[in-house]
Amino acid sequence: MAKAPLHPESLVERYGPNPNYTPSGGWQKGSEAPPDHLVKTHCCFCGQQCGIQLKVRDNRVVGFEPWDEFPFNQGKLCPKGVKRYMQNEHPDRLLGPLMRASNGDFRAAPWDEALDFTAKSLRAIQEKHGKDAVAIYGGASLTSEKSYLLGKFARVALGTRHIDYNGRLCMVSAGTAYKMAFGVDRSPNPWSDIPKAQVVLVTGANVAECAPITTDYLWRMRDNGGKLIVIDPRMTPITRNADMYLPVRPGTDVALMMGLLHVVIRDGLTRPQFIADHTVGFAEVEASVREWNPRQTAELTGVPPEVIEKAARLFGGAERAIALHARGIEHQSKGVENVLSLINLCLATGNIAREGAGCMMITGQGNGQGGREHGQKCDQLPGQRSISDPAAREHVAKVWGITPEEMPQAGLSAMEIMEAIHRGEIKGLLSICFNPLVSLPDSTYIREALEKLEFFGVVDFFLSETAHHADVVLAGSLQEEEEGITCTAEGRVVHIQQAVTPPEGARNDWAIYCDLAKRLGKEKFFPYKAPREIFDELREASRGGPADYYGITYEKIDRNLGVFWPCPTEDHPGTPRLFEGGQFFHKDGKAKFIVAEYRASGDPVTEEHPIYLTTGRVVSHYLSGTQTRRIGALVDQYPEPRLEIHPRLAEAHGIANEDWVKVTTKRHQMTIQALVVKTIRPDTVFIPYHWAGLKSANQLTHRTLDPRSKIPEFKVSACRIEKTVAPPGWSKTAKTPGRSQHAPKRELRVIQ
């Protein structure tokens, strides 16, 4: 019975999100006493993992100082990084477990009672309905130690097949495609290659807002004489400096890539020698793009034929070209094929595995790379090993002290777990670092699933909207409260330092899971005293796998300012660039061309729903907003979602800027204020997704998954719009971004 308490307003009052505007100790205290020390660590937010120094005083994070020496960002930070420290000492922080009282409301509970109840509930479900009746959710903001621990907890402590994580909404399309084409899931090039390219093609990536530091690399590339091509239904901020802009229609990316490859082949811009020596499957791909001439491509994609020709010649004609991609092409029911078609373009032009040339995914979440390498993915074991590979099972089982037969097989992915809950197959769920009620598509369906659970436990530091449905909430720790490692978007393993200990009442996440394992009678498999011991076991478990961490130590990371995997031995320098010399990770050493085909979206536009709806992010918020909707400065910057709509479409519906608009899809409807801008295609509207409840874009999205990666299609839905009146619960006045917002609040003073 995981229904939310009857009065969600009282929950919000007690647990937030309340925006915090002042740091620990107040603003004025900063100048009085210097901090005790500076801790060199990394940002807790996105996959860039910028180096940052946290100012610590009296076991509290009181501010930050740029870390100029860290090579990736050299002191640069986005507003999220600047204000992240405001989470420490936050009034919404959970300072002890919560359990349901008899009236259905939350009550504070002692740790022993909450842990006992959690273990007992999970075991009772498993005894009655089988081991696979419980599932584990993890997240890619967790350190690799915690990700590894979760995988082991699910498979050893609980013995369930079902563990998956919020990276299912992030990197799985790219990861699946890279594994199919190259045999390994990692961006092959370090970011330092970007300024060396002559052409960079950015597709489906709002670099300025979602990976702001990468902007610096793009501008350096242009200063070196390089050209920038941007493909996106919206003119994102970097597009102002693009040499070419291709306004692709949502959901037609694969066709555009095939159209580009068509021109590249037609004009003789391929590299036949590279294709012959290092790849297989070109002939089939060549045949598949034959029909995609510029004219046909233009009709489907909305990009003019001459622009397709020019972009193809620019990319194909360069000695060194890089393709950068992110969720725009991956959050689709053909996300894997979109990426494959981009890889085909890079392989055909020989733009791979060289300095300044390659195909690079921009990993989204903080530990989006490391979090998917060590076992919290439903089909993977540590070291990026396949759980269906007998040798991998044997290796990992030995490290874990179980038999290969005891190792469960692959389980269901994140969205499929929700479907299994609906079917009654999964009855218990323990979740950490995941807010599916905001981040999964079709939130009504997700809420119904949560309400069907017999037991739902959550580990978190703030009470997320999903946690409103929990039977037990265990108060966990912030990123700066635990030591560990993450792996950045460029494959660099970095060291997260413990800056402070968790506040009284909250506990380290890893210790919570070890305590649960003990209560499940599996103590001997979880004897850890510190994250370092988990890391040492992870190194052993990853040894010999594609993502080999055996040669990485905390000390080596500190000395070298990060180590790129694979790093098989302690004297190995790490591998910043993969596939050098054209050696790919498949058994034959070759890269694979794989045919990608255009298909319609899972929610195609119709007469009734004639407009494309696409969703995404804004610069001041991160993921489901559990953290950033609690940081005042970031909330002020983008307080509520707005509907981006082109003036042509707006006028056709009588909508002016700041008017209220009802957006309706086949699932649901929501009311949202218009931001009329010429920076979006006139057949498309955009909503950022970071908000909950009636402000959640995922009320509208649909549950179609990519058949291979199981990623939902957040980027393409069909909707209709109409002008309406303001709903309750929103700010009364729209904020115009910019200077006025930061003006000091004037107070009228009466001089007497």
Partner 1 sequence: MFGRQFFIDPSRCIGCESCVNACAECDNHRGESMIHLDFIDRRQTTATVPFVCMHCDDPTCAQVCPADAIKKTDDGIVQSSLKPRCIACSNCVLACPFGIPKVMVRQEQMMKCDMCYDRTSVGKKPMCATVCPSQALSYVSLEEITRGRREKPTNVFYFGKQRVTTKVYMMVPGTVDAMSVDVVDYIWEDKA
Handedness of CA 381, 384, 387, 392 (dihedral sign): negative
Side chain identity, residue 283: A
Q: Name the residue nearer to partner 1 (CB basis): 237 or 693.
A: 237
Rg, the chain, Cα only: 25
Region of 116-124, 147-155, 210-218, 347-355 interacting with partner 1 (CB under 8 A) = 210-218
User: What CA–CA distance (Å, rounded) separates 453 from 426?
Assistant: 8
Region of 317-325, 363-371, 443-451, 738-746 interacting with partner 1 (CB under 8 A) = 738-746
Region of 334-342, 460-468, 566-574, 733-741 interacting with partner 1 (CB under 8 A) = 733-741
Return the residues of window 227-256 that contact partner 1 according to CB under 8 A. 235-241
- Out of 633, 658, 693, 734, point to the residue binding partner 1 (CB under 8 A): 633
Region of 73-81, 477-485, 521-529, 692-700 interacting with partner 1 (CB under 8 A) = 73-81
Beta-strand relationship, 611-616 and 669-676 = unpaired
Least distance to partner 1, CB of residue 672, Å: 16
For residue 199, the cross-strand partners are 227, 321
User: What CA–CA distance (Å, rounded) separates 403 from 343?
Assistant: 39
- Out of 87, 341, 637, 671, point to the residue binding partner 1 (CB under 8 A): 637
Least distance to partner 1, CB of residue 61, Å: 13
Least distance to partner 1, CB of residue 49, Å: 14
- Out of 289, 340, 675, 719, point to the residue binding partner 1 (CB under 8 A): 675
Under 8 Å between Cβ of 345 and 323? yes
Least distance to partner 1, CB of residue 54, Å: 12
- Out of 15, 45, 64, 525, point to the residue binding partner 1 (CB under 8 A): 64
Q: CA 358: distance to chain centroid?
A: 22
Least distance to partner 1, CB of residue 626, Å: 20
Least distance to partner 1, CB of residue 641, Å: 15
Region of 119-127, 312-320, 676-684, 722-730 interacting with partner 1 (CB under 8 A) = 676-684
Q: Does 406 sit near partner 1 (CB under 8 A)?
A: no
Number of H-type helices and E-type strands within the chain: 24, 28
Spatial neighbors of 711 by CB under 8 A, at least 6 apart, are 168, 169, 172, 173, 330, 331, 332, 335, 705
**# chain residues binding partner 1, by CB under 8 A:** 57
Q: Does 676 sit near partner 1 (CB under 8 A)?
A: yes
Q: Name the residue nearer to partner 1 (CB basis): 81 or 188.
A: 81
User: What CA–CA distance (Å, rounded) separates 295 from 310?
Assistant: 13
Under 8 Å between Cβ of 687 and 714? no
Q: Does 733 sit near partner 1 (CB under 8 A)?
A: no
Q: Which residues of 410-435 are buried (b: 16+ CB within 10 A; e: fewer)?
A: ebbbbbbbbbbbeeebbbbbbbbbbb
Under 8 Å between Cβ of 247 and 232? yes
Q: Does 747 sit near partner 1 (CB under 8 A)?
A: yes
Beta-strand relationship, 642-645 and 669-676 = parallel
Side chain identity, residue 555: E
Q: CA 451: distance to chain centroid?
A: 26
* Residue 301 phi, psi dihedral angles, 5° rounding: -95, -20
Q: Does 13 sit near partner 1 (CB under 8 A)?
A: no
Q: Name the residue nearer to partner 1 (CB basis): 317 or 647.
A: 647
Q: Does 76 sit near partner 1 (CB under 8 A)?
A: yes
* Residue that is written with structure tokens 């540590």 in the block: 382
Give the footprint of partner 1 on this chain (CB under 8 A). Answer: 21-22, 27-28, 30-31, 63-64, 66, 68, 73, 75-79, 81-83, 208-209, 212-213, 215-216, 219-220, 223-224, 235-241, 619-620, 633, 637, 647, 657, 675-679, 736-739, 742-747
